[in-house]
Structure 1
Amino acid sequence: MKRMMYSACIAAGLLVAGCSAGVTTTEQAVEEVGATKLYQDALGREVEIPVTPKRVVALWTVGEMLALNTKPIGSTEHLMRFFTEEEKEDIAIIGDAVNGDYEKILALAPDLIVLYGLARPEELEKYQKIAPTVTTAFFGEAMASLRSMGEILNKQQEAEAWVKAYTARVASAREDVASLALAEQKAVVLQLAQKNIYLYRSATFPTIFDAYQLQLSDYQAELQQDKSFAKQQLSMESLPNFADVDRIFLIVNDAESKATYEQLQQSGVWKNLPAVQKNQVYVMSERFSMADVSTLDWALDEVKEQLLQ
């Protein structure tokens, strides 16, 4: 419900802005049909794309499109798996992971294709034969990715409205948990993927370390002095390095990861961690590891609910 009200607030703000700017003339609308612009993508390529794309196949940055009230005509099962049935409605599934089926995309007749920033030259060449193809940053900073999609879709105003509304939601959420004094506490986010434990750079989880202002463990802060640090696979023996954290957020990916967590809970090393002893371990779904703004919006409420339990 809160997110529905949130979207309504953005829409209302844009309506007021639109009224104050004057009504777009029919002539202007006609001029825009078929018009193009140059866009510099995440790989530094300058690509000629429609001024206002209408039929976008999204093989990345789906959450940003949905946040801007724009549905792609096609995406993959992997990228759509966390969204509601309503959000998925009318979006054709055209592949797995971040790879689209060429023939299915061709059949959709897109006017733009969006790929991730690690796309290989041969991928770009292949999709470019169907429609103009641009890349967006691979797990880039969420607000920057939103603004990039705003520029691509000619929805810069909507992107700024989203940022403003989200910033207000963060301020409200901080007030709701003020009694916990989170800014004075340390946290760590760990991910269980199959039988492995991973630690990621804190920027991967802005909800924890930005929105709710929790601090890094000394161990992670030291690791991040190396600007190239992105992630580290952890051994069971390394877990005591997090003895100074007050709260542990644990992402459990799948059934095999759940089994790993059950084994972890039986470990003396795990049981001796202060956060575990204080019952301040929060199990999060795999979605928490996604970096799009729609996930940030979801995570703000999800984390608050866990903290206040």
Structure 2
Amino acid sequence: MSKLLKVSTFYAVIIMMLLSLSACGTNDTTSSQKLEEGEPEKMAENKEAESIKTRQYTDVLGREVTIPNKPQRVVALWSVGELLALNTKPVGSTKNLLRFYSEEEQKDIEIVGEGVMGDYEKVLSLQPDLILVYAKATAEELEQYSKIAPTVATAFFGDPFQTLRDVGEIMNKQEQAKQWITAYQERVKKIRVKAANLKEQGEKALVIQFALKDIYLYHSDTFPTIFDAYEFELTDKQKELQKDEAFAPQVVSLELLPEFNADRIFLIVNDDESRAILENIQNSRIWKYLPAVKNNKVYEIQNRISIKDVTTFDWALDEVFQLLEQ
């Protein structure tokens, strides 16, 4: 078997991952602080009226869609992380997308199926006023869901910050999206200072994923937290591979790993079957003599990091820091 086998597309692996199971009150009762009789009903009516107002939005597929001015009931078959960053909980999403998020993040979100596109009847039952899908959705899928509610496609692993801006525009929360990005950039600056004593300048990192019975290498821009936020450098071997404009996710053999000569290795283990492969490799002489292994600088990180949305960026800043502290 060749040491390096190119995989047709990144999308196949990611979709396989997604398809697999894995108002406080006050005691003051003065009339000026009491809600007037009927005010809650008025607020509800105003909210409903706002959701009825519509505007035109052109999605990433170039489709012009009439959407609510301020969507209230969103089913997110994609872009969950962007909604969470905007303090918006979708009313529904898929089990295999939500599994990447914490229990708190998942709270109050109804499961509408397990696959990438969910279950039509379950989505229908939630009576959404907007549905978000990924840009790889078929014309048939788009047409089907558009019968339930306005259906907007968002980018499939595009620029995460631009996707946040797009979802901010969809939700009429453009300013909130802008503020989130600014706050995140400030967090990155602070955590770089905190991490300065935990790593040497110029250290090279390698991120590999154990999935589908193989070891996968992805383009470095799949993991901006490691290579941008924490400023780990690429190995010379990966730099060489990425010079090829046609670079795609690649299956890497155990025998090739020494050529990367990484100071740090971050591991992603996709499932139990993949863990068995990792455990077998860890007993090999090749693995034991890798510099990162000999120096005890190998870290396992949750496969959530592969999702590459802004909420995950925020999570990953803390996650990587904790790993480096070990």
TM-score by length of 1: 0.87
CA positional deviation for 1:182 = 4.6
CA shift, 1:221, in A, is: 0.9
8 Å Cα contact 2:51/2:72 also seen in 1: no
Distance 1:102 1:171, change over 3 A: same
The 3 A distance-change label for structure 1 pair 196 and 33 is closer
Do 2:269 and 2:275's aligned partners in 1 also have CA atoms closer than 8 Å?
yes
Match of 1:271 among 277, 288, 293: 288
Query: Given that residues 242 and 273 in structure 1 are in contact (C-alpha distance below 8 angstroms), is that contact kept between their aligned partners in structure 2?
Result: no
2 CA distance for matches of 1:55 and 1:31? 14
Secondary structure of 2:251's counterpart equals strand
Structure 1 position 152 matched with structure 2 position 170? yes
Select 2:95's aligned residue among 77, 95, 101.
Answer: 77
Does 2:60 match 1:47?
no
SS state at 2:78 partner: coil
Distance 1:33 1:258, change over 3 A: closer
SS class of match (1:82) = coil
Q: Contact 2:265 / 2:298 at 8 angstroms: preserved in 1?
A: yes
1:226 aligned onto 2:244: yes
CA deviation digits over 1:59-116, x for unaligned, max 9? 0010110111101111011111132333222211111131211111111111111000
Runs of 4+ in 1 over 6 A off after TM superposition: 28-31
Deviations 1:205-230 (A, max 9, x none): 01000100111111111121123323
In structure 1, what is the equivalent of residue 77 of structure 2? Answer: 59
Contact 1:64 1:146 in 2 (8 A): yes
2:213 matched to 1:195?
yes
> Normalising to structure 2: TM-score of the pair?
0.82
C-alpha contact (below 8 Å) 2:85/2:310 kept by paired residues: yes
- Classify the secondary structure of the residue corresponding to 2:87: coil
Asked if 1:306 is matched to 2:288, the reply is: no
User: Aligned pair 1:259/2:276, yes or no?
Assistant: yes
**Taking structure 1 as reference, are residues 183 and 137 closer, same or farther at Cα in structure 2, changes over 3 Å only?**
farther
Deviates more, 1:185-194 or 1:80-89: 80-89
| TM-superposed deviation, 1:183 | 4.3
C-alpha deviation, 1:231, in angstroms: 0.8
Count of paired positions: 282
Indicate conservation of the 8 Å contact 1:114/1:135, yes or no.
yes
Aligned letter for 1:230?
Answer: A
Task: Find the counterpart in structure 2 of residue 236 from structure 1.
Answer: 254
SS in 1 for 2:137: coil
Higher relative contact order (CA 8 A, sep 6+): 2
Equivalent AA in structure 2 for residue 156 of structure 1: Q
Identify the match of residue 111 of structure 2 among 86, 90, 93: 93
CA distance in 1, matches of 2:88, 2:127: 17
Say if 1:112 and 1:132, in contact at 8 Å, map to a contact too: yes
Task: Say whether the 8 Å CA contact 1:141–1:291 is kept in structure 2.
Answer: no
Cα drift, residue 198 of structure 1 = 0.1
RMSD: 1.8
Closer/same/farther in 2, CA of residues 182 and 67 from structure 1, 3 Å limit: farther
Highest CA radius of gyration, 1 or 2?
2
Alpha-carbon shift at residue 179 of structure 1 (Å): 2.1
Partner of 1:216: 234
The amino acid of 2:153's aligned partner reads T
Q: Where does the alignment leave 5 or more consecutive residues of structure 2 unmatched?
A: 1-42
CA distance in 2: counterparts of 1:29 and 1:133, whole angstroms: 21
Aligned-pair CA distance for 1:239:
1.2
The alpha-carbon deviation at position 284 of structure 1 amounts to: 1.0
